[in-house]
Amino acid sequence: MNLTQKAMLGVSAVAMATALTGCGQSTSYPRTAQPTDSQCRDWEWDSSQGVYRCDDSSSSYYRHYYYGNSYYSSRSALQKNSSYSTYKSSISSKTSSGFGKGSSISGG
């Protein structure tokens, strides 16, 4: 192999490794449109819960979670909702491990 081929092989390997770096990471993104409820004017996406949270300090629902057209004053109140539990399970399975997670390659 000449020097140019070796350099191209090295560049390709680095590009491949860089592209695969994020494959094992989970990404949580808004799966629903931002609420348009008039009780809150500022929404924040809570990626750990997979729902929006009111960030409007002038609202009586400040820091409440919003799911299924309802407000929840705490994380535990939200998690008690059976519909939310089903939703949370569905998004957790879609954001789980990436390519090659848990696999190994061994020489023969």
- CA–CA dist 68, 10 (Å, integer): 51
- CA–CA dist 73, 85 (Å, integer): 16
- What predicted TM-score, i.e. pTM, was given to this entire model? 0.59
| pLDDT > 70 fraction of the chain, expressed in percent and rounded | 59
Question: Where residue 90 falls among pLDDT bands split at 50, 70, 90?
Answer: confident
- CA–CA dist 54, 32 (Å, integer): 15
